[in-house]
Amino acid sequence: MSFFKKIFGSKVNKESEQEIKNENNLEPFKKVPWMTNLRLENISICLDAGFKPTSTLPTELDRKLRPAIEIAQRLNAIKSLILWLMVPQEHLESDKILTFIDKNDLKSFMNEEEKEILRKSRDDEQARNFIGWKFENAWPLAWYFGYKEPEITGQMMSGEEMQEILKDYSCPLDQSVKDWIKEKKTLSQEKLIQKEDLFYCLHNAVRSAQFGGDTVPSGFDPIGNGGVIHERRHSLTWMLSKGMRWEETDLST
């Protein structure tokens, strides 16, 4: 055995074996009559990462991109809620947040539970626990306006990542959202559809795992990590659900 093979051979063999295994696992999907190239690519990504979605998911989905202004309003509605609960009153006056919300019609992009937060104390601990999941909603929305791609590991966002979105990938409180998006380059519908379809498949694997299936990677918590996938998928599907309210988004798998 050569010197390099002694060092690298085992790793190379394992990677080759994994590629062959994943290719074999992909075979049932190729036989599905309604399968598309887009879905096959996303299934391959899932299998490589240890997720096992079902082969029976539909591929012809009614996806219509909503206007960029609505995506920006939802992103900044979330930003407003985060600032309301996470930044002390002495550092950011309530009136400044509320004026930003009213000026940009952001309440129209909040559900009733979120609107209720604005009627609570800004140091409400229970509301702060709830708002953590909104970080995960914010990532795909910010991605649409130039932030990095949302990850599929199921790990929650870091505080640093959320600060990046609040600071650099959302509208400043002293500007209008309509003016802010004029300077922003947005994703193509094609790229957004690809990512939404990927998270649709991931979400299916997560749901199966929540019912006891062996469909997620080792060490992946179907509830905690699965919740991250769910929230990111919610934003992606909502962006492609023109005319649909946030709480009405179809998240079936």
In tens, the pLDDT along 81-122 reads 999 999 999 999 999 999 999 999 999 999 999 999 999 899
The gap between the terminal CA atoms of the chain, to the nearest Å, is 49
Mean pLDDT of the chain: 91
In the structure, what pLDDT confidence band is assigned to residue 126 with cuts at 50, 70 and 90? confident
Q: What percent of the chain has pLDDT over 90?
A: 81
Specify the higher pLDDT residue, 3 or 94: 94
Sign of the torsion angle spanned by Cα atoms 213, 215, 218, 224? negative
Q: What is the pLDDT of residue 3?
A: 47
Tell me if 84 sits within 8 A of 60, measured CB to CB: no
Of residues 209, 232, 24, the one with CA closest to residue 138: 232
Query: Which residues, other chains included, contact 204 with Cβ-Cβ below 8 Å and sequence gap of 6+?
Result: 53, 54, 57, 253
Q: What mean pLDDT comes out for the span 34-62?
A: 95
Torsion of CA 118, 119, 125, 128, to 10 degrees: -20
Q: What is the pLDDT of residue 15?
A: 54
Q: Is the pLDDT of residue 20 over 70?
A: no
Query: Which residues, other chains included, contact 11 with Cβ-Cβ below 8 Å and sequence gap of 6+?
Result: none
